[in-house]
Amino acid sequence: MPQESPYYQFPEGLPAFEQHRSFRLVREPSFDPLLFLVSGSDPGLRFICVQVRFIAPEYCYELDQAGAAVLGVAPGRYGAADERFGCLAILSFPSDEPATANLLAPVVIHYANRAGLQAVQTGGVWSHAQPVVLMEGA
Amino acid sequence: MLVIRRRAGESLILSGGVEIAVLELSAHGVKLGISAPADVTVLRNEVYLAQRANRQAAETAIGDRAKKLLDSFRQMSGPSQMAS
């Protein structure tokens, strides 16, 4: 049975999908640990994601003033393992190439505030097309 | 790549009525001013890459392909966890 989270508000949408302002996470056990990020306005729009801590346990991201305001937290540096937040990497599955994860722009969800955004990072070492290596224990 | 040396206060012109001016240089970076027609999209490169990655991710969010990734992963992983 699929399990669905509440809807999270994304006031800025996602890059290239700015008109989609709410998303929920859907878990289908056969896809664990992958999750589906599904648009509230168009269920046909979905992204396959994974918690970043499962592919890069040491991953950290910056929330600038604007991004922090969206989530209702203080600006600063946060770790992917911070349990107040979901820190998700959107995955791509090109037909003839290995799957990649977008670690340049993690989707960050503040569970308690039911708010989210895609936090595009600057000046980091992570790519928008990082090869996916799921870690043991995910 | 074309390389042009400019100082603060100087600018360069691109076809289509686009002007890029160097406003300020500092240890934190270069502040640019861009004048362009309303139909010209100006994006930070990171945002452009995020847009492109999102479009590709939406087009390729195909369960069968994800299953292939999971098949290799499950051979070495323990019990799964659910995002709260």
Query: Residues near B28 by Cβ (< 8 Å), separated by ≥ 6?
Result: none
- Residue B80: inside a domain: no
- CA A77/CA A124 separation, integer angstroms: 12
Digit-by-digit pLDDT tens for chain A (138 residues) are 678 889 999 999 999 999 999 999 999 998 989 999 999 999 999 999 999 999 999 999 999 999 999 999 999 999 998 999 999 999 999 888 889 999 999 999 999 999 999 999 998 889 999 988 776 655
Q: Least CA distance to B66: which residue of chain A? A: A93
Alpha carbon distance A89, A61 (integer Å): 12
What local confidence, expressed as pLDDT, does residue A138 receive?
58
User: For residue B63, what pLDDT is reported?
Assistant: 82
- Measuring CA to CA, how many Å separate B43 from each of A67, A104, B24, B25? 17, 15, 19, 20
Q: Is residue B3 part of a domain?
A: yes
pTM: 0.87
**Is residue B23 assigned to a domain?**
yes
Which are the contacts of A46, defined by CB distance < 8 A and separation ≥ 6?
A26, A36, A37, A38, A39, B58, B61
pLDDT at A79: 95
* B66 within a domain of the structure (yes/no): no
pLDDT in the model for residue A96:
83
* pLDDT given at position A90: 97
List the end-to-end C-alpha distance of chain A, in Å, as a whole number: 20
The CATH class that applies to domain A3-131 reads mainly beta
Q: Does residue B50 belong to any structural domain of this protein?
A: yes
| Cβ–Cβ below 8 Å for B61 and A51 | no
Tell me the domain boundaries of chain A: 3-131
CB contact under 8 A, B50 and A92: no
- Count of structural domains, chain B: 1
Q: Which residues touch A125 (CB under 8 Å, ≥6 apart)?
A: none
- How wide is the angle at C-alpha A101 spanned by C-alphas A133 and A132, nearest 5°? 10
> Which among A31, A45, A100 is the nearest to B58, CB-wise?
A45
The verdict on residue B47 lying in a domain is: yes
Residue B1 lies in a domain: yes
Domain region containing B7? 1-61
Please choose, from the candidates A60, A59, A50, the residue with its C-alpha nearest in 3D space to the C-alpha of residue A99: A50
**ipTM greater than cut 0.90:** yes
